[in-house]
């Protein structure tokens, strides 16, 4: 058990929290969803939703894709920058995605870890560039995901791009400080 939690323990904890929240959403007949969802019209009366919306999901495919991406990028980034910085990177990427959604879309409600996931993709791109590795494959992956966000209905592309920018900016700051 110790070796399981050794590498990427913050990543695994975040995945566990997301899964528990999703189970609570299902058990509550989506009452939990409405409590955690980001609703731009009520963000001043429910400011916690800027973060909590990143832990709720709209369905099984949504959570499975996000948690797989969190596991892949999260463990690698967490090992490079450390658990505390990784947690800040992830949470601030969710905030960046939420703020972008509020200012660009501004209507309806949104849930999902995608702002955080896109933040990790942006961070991974910046980190591998700073380490001197080829980043073209990561750039293509980001491009494909952004394209799919624009062409698929029901996706809050502004949250994806806001998270991407926030994560890349934070990773850039971390890599500059690490040098």
DSSP calls for 9-49? HHHHHHHHHHHHHHHHHHHTTTHHHHHHSB-GGGTTT-TTH
Dig out the tokens for 105 from the structure. 């879309």
Q: If pLDDT is split at 50, 70 and 90, which confidence band does 1 have?
A: very low
- pLDDT in the model for residue 177: 79
What is the domain-level CATH number for residue 9?
1.20.1540.10
Kind plus residue range of the DSSP H or E element containing 177: helix 157-178
Dig out the tokens for 108 from the structure. 């309806």
**Mean of per-residue pLDDT scores for the chain:** 93
Domain boundaries, position 93:
2-178
* pLDDT tens sequence across 26-36: 999 999 999 99
* pLDDT tens sequence across 36-52: 999 999 999 999 999 99
Dig out the tokens for 16 from the structure. 């566990």
* Half-sphere exposure of residue 111: CA atoms within 13 angstroms, side-chain side: 20
What is the end-to-end Cα distance of the chain in Å, rounded?
A: 35
Q: How far apart are CA 58 and CA 33, in angstroms?
A: 8
Q: If pLDDT is split at 50, 70 and 90, which confidence band does 149 have?
A: confident
> What is 98-121 written as a DSSP string?
HHHHHHHT-SS-B--SHHHHHHHH
Question: Of 63, 160, 50, nearest to 109 (Cα)?
Answer: 50
| pTM listed for this prediction | 0.92
**Domains identified in the chain, total number:** 1
């Amino acid at each position: 058990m110790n070796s399981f939690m050794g590498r990427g323990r913050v990543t695994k904890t975040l995945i566990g929290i997301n899964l528990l929240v999703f189970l609570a959403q299902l058990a509550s007949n989506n009452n939990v969803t409405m409590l955690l969802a980001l609703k731009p019209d009520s963000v001043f009366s429910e400011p916690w939703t800027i973060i909590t919306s990143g832990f709720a999901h709209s369905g099984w495919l949504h959570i499975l894709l996000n948690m797989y991406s969190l596991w892949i990028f999260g463990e690698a980034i967490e090992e490079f920058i450390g658990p505390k910085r990784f947690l800040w990177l992830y949470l601030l990427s969710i905030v960046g995605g939420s703020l972008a959604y509020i200012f660009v879309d501004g209507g309806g409600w949104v849930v999902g870890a995608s702002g955080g996931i896109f933040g990790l993709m942006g961070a991974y791109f910046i980190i591998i560039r700073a380490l001197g590795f080829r980043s073209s494959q990561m750039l293509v992956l980001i491009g494909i995901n952004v394209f799919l966000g624009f062409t698929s209905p029901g996706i809050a592309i502004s949250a994806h791009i806001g998270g991407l920018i926030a994560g890349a900016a934070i990773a850039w700051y971390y890599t500059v400080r690490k040098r």
